[in-house]
Amino acid sequence: MVESSPTTEDRFSEGKVTFEKITGLPANAFLDGLENVAPAFGRFVMEWEFADVYGSSSLDLKTRETIMIAACAALGATAAPILKLRIGSALRAGVSRQEIIDICIQVGIPAGLPAALSAIQIAGEVFAAVKNPS
């Protein structure tokens, strides 16, 4: 028997649900932000990142969000908006504020102090906007 793979529409729907669960934000708001510029890319993000990758990873959510913070922090200013989003997602996944700061500090070793400092400043902005003191 040949197992059928999920349809693109199934993956898109699954990705939207996962996006909302992880980020706490409406998927349609994210997609609307790309609608006039790159609507296919928004769909790709939902299907690939949030349905395929997040849907089949052996890593727990806290570990995945920790990795996302480290990678985005290492990219520096290029990834600043996504870093801000992922810090919020990490807090939702149970990563503590101190762990987030420690991740940013560790990034300073391979990526440099400017990248670490920028990431710490972004973390401070997210912390100030989030009421949960964890």
What residues have CB less than 8 Å from 116, skipping those under 6 apart?
A: 73, 104, 105, 107, 108
CA distance 132 to 51: 28
Please report the pLDDT score of residue 2 as a whole number.
47
CATH number, domain with residue 127: 1.20.1290.10
Query: CA torsion sign, 60 to 21 to 56 to 100?
Result: negative
Domain's final residue, options 38, 56, 74:
56
Q: Name the pTM for this structure.
A: 0.84
In total, how many domains does the chain have?
2
Whether residue 121 sits in one domain with residue 75: yes
Please report the pLDDT score of residue 132 as a whole number.
60
Whether residue 41 sits in one domain with residue 73: no
Please report the pLDDT score of residue 8 as a whole number.
83
Please report the pLDDT score of residue 77 as a whole number.
87
Whether residue 69 sits in one domain with residue 134: yes
117: containing domain: 59-134
Please report the pLDDT score of residue 131 as a whole number.
77
Whether residue 128 sits in one domain with residue 80: yes
Whether residue 52 sits in one domain with residue 11: yes
1 belongs to a structural domain: no
Which residues does the chain have with pLDDT short of 70? Answer: 1-6, 132-134
Whether residue 120 sits in one domain with residue 64: yes
Whether residue 44 sits in one domain with residue 13: yes
* DSSP assigned state of 133: -
| Mean pLDDT over the full length of the chain | 91
25 belongs to a structural domain: yes
